[in-house]
């Protein structure tokens, strides 16, 4: 299977496209599907000025980095659900392995979240406090 690397620059472009798709709708907040959707949610919440949610709420936006089979999207049926990449419908990514810039082999969740916070130049404690409110 061919691998496609999603660089920071490409990722930011995909975030901008997603915000363009949802920016005019009103949401109570944004929830990121763990793990890949968390970074997407932080970026969207920050850009749109809406709460970052620790659980999906009524009228919220649920986001993920990738739709592969669609199984995760089905789990959030009833919520507005968007992803940066939908491999089912996007010929550019269909049938390819997607490797995002923030993924690192052998990395645990804590290391991943810490590295993402550092890359975004945000205080990890602020993110934790926002999620745990």
User: Which residue in the block uniquely carries the two structure tokens 């997603």?
Assistant: 18
- For residue 30, what is the enclosing H or E element? strand 30-32
Residue 37's nearest CA partner among 97, 95, 102, 87 is 102
Q: What is the pLDDT of residues 5-16, one digit of tens each?
A: 999 999 999 999
Nearest C-alpha neighbor of 60 from the set 79, 38, 32: 79
Give the domain extent around 38.
3-131
More confident residue, 41 or 104: 41
Rounded CA separation 111/50 (Å): 26
**Res. 73: pLDDT tops 90:** yes
pLDDT at 35: 82
Distance (Å) of CA 41 to CA 44, 62, 96, 105, 120: 5, 8, 24, 22, 13
What pLDDT, on the 0 to 100 scale, is given for residue 108? 61
Number of domains in the chain: 1
Q: Is residue 49 pLDDT above 70, yes or no?
A: yes
- The pLDDT-based confidence of 120 (bands split at 50, 70, 90) is low
pTM value is 0.77
Q: Which CATH number belongs to the domain containing residue 77 in this structure?
A: 3.40.50.2020
End-to-end CA distance of the chain: 42
């Amino acid at each position: 299977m061919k691998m496609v690397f999603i660089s920071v620059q490409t990722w930011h472009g995909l975030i901008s496209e997603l915000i363009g798709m949802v920016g005019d709708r009103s949401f109570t907040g944004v929830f990121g599907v763990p793990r890949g959707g968390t970074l997407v949610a932080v970026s969207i919440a920050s850009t749109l000025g809406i709460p970052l949610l620790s659980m999906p709420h009524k009228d919220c936006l649920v986001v993920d980095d990738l739709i592969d089979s669609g199984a995760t999207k089905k789990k959030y049926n009833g919520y507005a659900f968007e992803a940066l990449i939908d491999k089912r419908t996007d010929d550019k990514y269909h049938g390819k392995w997607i490797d995002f810039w923030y993924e690192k082999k052998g990395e645990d969740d804590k290391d991943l979240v810490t590295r993402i916070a550092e890359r975004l130049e945000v205080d990890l404690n602020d993110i934790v406090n926002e999620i745990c409110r």
